[in-house]
Chain A
Amino acid sequence: MAVFVIRRLIGLIAVLFAITVMTFLIFFATPGVDPSRQLAGRNPQPAVVAAIKHQFGLDRPLPIRYLLMMKRLFVSRDLVSYGNQALKVVPAITSATPVTFSLVFGAAVIWVVLSILTGLLAVVFKGTIVDPLLMILALIGISMPVFWLGEVANLITQDRLHNTFLFHWVPPNGYTPLTANPWQWFLHLIIPWLTLSVLYIGFYARVLRANLLDVANEDYVRTARAKGLSERRVLLKHMLRTSMITFVSLFGLDFGVLVGGGAILTEVVFGLPGVGKLTYDSLVSLDLPVIMATVIYGAFFITIANALVDIVYARLDPRIRPA
């Protein structure tokens, strides 16, 4: 086990290094990208361009520039935005993380509960109209662009039905920190949570249903029935438990992707100042250091989360550990 963990950690470090190199190359070594021109404004003086180049280390050779960038990102943490030099990139990301976490965590709770419920209902009612109906609903959920769904939700809850008893409680778009006012935090996030979870409810319900139907023919399920267990017990204690293996591993990946920046569209539509919104705001001005930093943050988060999932898995299931 220790060997496996060490090997996995060495692999992790190699991937993290490769991620920083690739991101750096995309942003600062693509031929034709010259950030200094963008920084210096229109018709810049050569001296101004040179000064900016020196300030950001753009006049150094490529490997040195990489090292300088990584030092400013991880060691001194004083990388500043190109557009707004008062914006320190690393603190901006750290202060945006709780927002993204709040959004994704709540959505995850909703999608796990509702998708298990939907998947179970579809299997219980297999052969009736309920099963195909639920699966079509799930497919529609998968087919909706989340930002559009968010806009429709805004239209309904903020405007068209806002003055009715249904949605008069919905606060204007924005975010209140959990520590400042837990109730407002909750109210502000309900609609974003529901919007973000729709896609995953549909997807997970379909995966779970397929898995449940797969294991329905397994010997141990037949044995459980033969022992005289109630149908409910067979479904919940035997079939659901095995089916959850795929479910949990998918969940680990998706949760990582969302916290790592995958929730950008939801954050933009609902004006939640998370990491995704930070990326979006710098997209408008094509602010390379901020975008690079958020991309590295996202890829790091996902890679580390995956490594943790692998290690936990190896702990639970010895067959995964290589000999």
Chain B
Amino acid sequence: MLRNRIALAALALFILIVIVSFGAPIYARDIAHADPFSSNISGTTTVNGKTVQVIQQGGGALGLGEIPIGPTWTSRYFLGADSQGRDVAARVLYGGRASLEIGIGSAVICCIAALILALIAGFYRRWVDSILSRLMDLIWAFPVYLLAISLATVLLTLQHPFINPSSLWIPTIIIAVVYVPYVYRPVRGQVLSVREKEYVEAATSQGASNFRLMFNEILPNVVTTVIVMLPLMIATTILTESALSFLSIGVQPPKASWGTIIDDGQALLYTRPWVAIAPGIMIVLTVLSLNILGDGVRDALDPRAKLRMKG
């Protein structure tokens, strides 16, 4: 019972993070009164009744250079500004929206693609299965980050009128592709065993079409495996997205995600650490809630599962 309650608390935390992140435009407009995507280098704000520059001169150990304003802990510049004078708190919320969209989107796409491929491979067997499984083995042979890096580099070098480098779809698809084998393998094994069950045989003898056999008879009996994996997959894809964005090959400017904000914050680490710390805390909370939730879902639906994901 206690475990269930912890899992529910984790779910509540995750939903809260989603709501807050998707409320980013409201926060930026009504609370921070700032556009987190346009730079505001010469702007001013009010702290304790005094007007101060957003980018202050004479920061740093030698009193040279310029540093952005630190956390004011009030509605404007709650977490301070970044090197462009943009409101960090508003950016973290917008970044969260991008990270969540990519994380959830790629995990869902990955699971659906893996499910369909596994159904086809496990149902037709023979050469279809051989080809698909060998392809999956090949993807599996690459380290996840290196394959994602390869695909991202190539897609970013592409000069194609239909491909917009700052589209969130690019990291979403890349991350979905690299994790397909991790879902495909266990599901294919399940399809192979479910396929031999009596009810499938019964449906076959009634003259059910292959399509019907796959989607009406087999699919409902393997979909639990995928549902159990989904929260852990989202945790993994969010971590992967943040890593790719940190390496500057994930989300591209002007868009931002938690990973790109941490990357931006690296230059300000010793003067304005909150720029890098805040999005990291958001990642930890999100991934932690998903991991706890995933454990709970697994215990509830599939107590014997041995599968564990990690990021």
A interface residues with partner B (beta carbon < 8 Å): 15, 18-19, 22-23, 26-27, 30, 32-35, 37-38, 139-140, 142-145, 147-149, 151-152, 154-155, 158-159, 199, 203, 206-207, 257, 260-262, 264-265, 268, 279-280, 283-284, 286, 288, 291-292, 294-295, 298-299, 302-303
Give the size range of B's interface with the partner.
35 or more
Contact B262 A148 (CB under 8 A): yes
Smallest distance from the beta carbon of A7 to chain B beta carbons, Å? 15
Which chain B residues in 246-286 approach chain A with CB under 8 Å? 246-249, 259, 262, 265-266, 269-270, 273, 276-277, 279-280, 283-284
| A38–B243 alpha-carbon span in the complex (Å) | 26
B308 touches A207 (CB 8 A): yes
Residue pair A148, B280 in contact (C-beta under 8 Å): yes
Known A-B contacts A154-B269, A207-B308, A303-B141; the reply to A265 vs B157 at CB < 8 A is no
The contact of B247 among A22, A268, A286, A294, by CB within 8 Å, is A268
B237, CB-defined interface residue at 8 Å: no
Q: CB of B28 within 8 A of chain A?
A: no
Binding site for A on B (CB under 8 A): 137-138, 141-143, 145-147, 149-151, 153-154, 156-160, 163, 235, 239, 242-243, 246-249, 259, 262, 265-266, 269-270, 273, 276-277, 279-280, 283-284, 287-288, 291-292, 308, 310-311
Q: List 26 A-B contacts (CB under 8 A).
A: A18-B138, A23-B150, A26-B150, A27-B150, A27-B153, A139-B292, A140-B288, A142-B287, A142-B291, A144-B283, A145-B283, A145-B284, A148-B284, A151-B265, A151-B276, A159-B270, A262-B145, A264-B145, A265-B243, A268-B247, A283-B248, A288-B153, A291-B149, A295-B149, A295-B150, A298-B143
- The reply to whether A261 and B143 form a contact with Cβ atoms under 8 Å apart is yes
**Which residues of B are found within 8 Å of A15, using beta-carbon distances?**
137-138, 141
Contact B157 A38 (CB under 8 A): yes
**Could you say which of B143, B265, B287, B291 contacts A257, with CB atoms under 8 Å apart?**
B143
Shortest beta-carbon distance from B280 to chain A in Å: 4
Q: Which residues of A contact B291 (CB under 8 A)?
A: 139, 142-143
What is the distance, in angstroms, from A206's C-beta to the closest C-beta of chain B?
7
A155/B273 in contact, CB under 8 A? yes
User: For the complex, would chain B's binding face be called helix, strand, loop or mixed by DSSP majority?
Assistant: helix
Q: How many A-B residue pairs have CB under 8 A?
A: 147
Cβ-closest chain A residue relative to B156: A286
Q: Do the beta carbons of A151 and B154 come within 8 Å of each other?
A: no
CA distance A155 to B268 in the complex (A): 10
What separation, in Å, do the CA atoms of A151 and B280 have in the docked complex?
10
Q: In the complex, given contacts A143-B311, A145-B242, A299-B143, what are 11 additional A-B residue pairs having Cβ atoms less than 8 angstroms apart?
A: A27-B153, A30-B154, A32-B159, A33-B158, A145-B311, A151-B276, A199-B311, A264-B145, A279-B146, A292-B150, A295-B149
Other-chain residue from A26, A32, A140, A159 in contact with B160 (beta carbon distance below 8 A): A32
Q: Given the interface contacts A148-B262, A151-B266, does A37 sit within 8 Å of B159 by beta carbon?
A: yes
What are the 10 closest A-B residue pairs judged by CB atoms, nearest first?
A148-B280, A143-B287, A143-B288, A159-B270, A32-B158, A32-B160, A295-B146, A298-B146, A203-B310, A257-B143
In the bound complex, do residue A143 and residue B235 qualify as a contact, i.e. CB atoms below 8 Å apart?
Answer: yes
Minimum distance in angstroms from B10 CB to a CB of chain A: 10
Q: When the two chains form the complex, which single residue of A143, A158, A207, A261 contacts B284, counting CB atoms closer than 8 Å? A: A143
Closest chain B residue, CB of each to CB of A147 = B246
Q: Which residues of A contact B249 (CB under 8 A)?
A: 283
B37 to chain A, nearest CB (A): 23
Taken together as a complex, chains A and B put the C-alpha atoms of A299 and B249 apart, in Å, by 20
Is there an interface contact between B138 and A19, defined as CB atoms closer than 8 Å?
yes
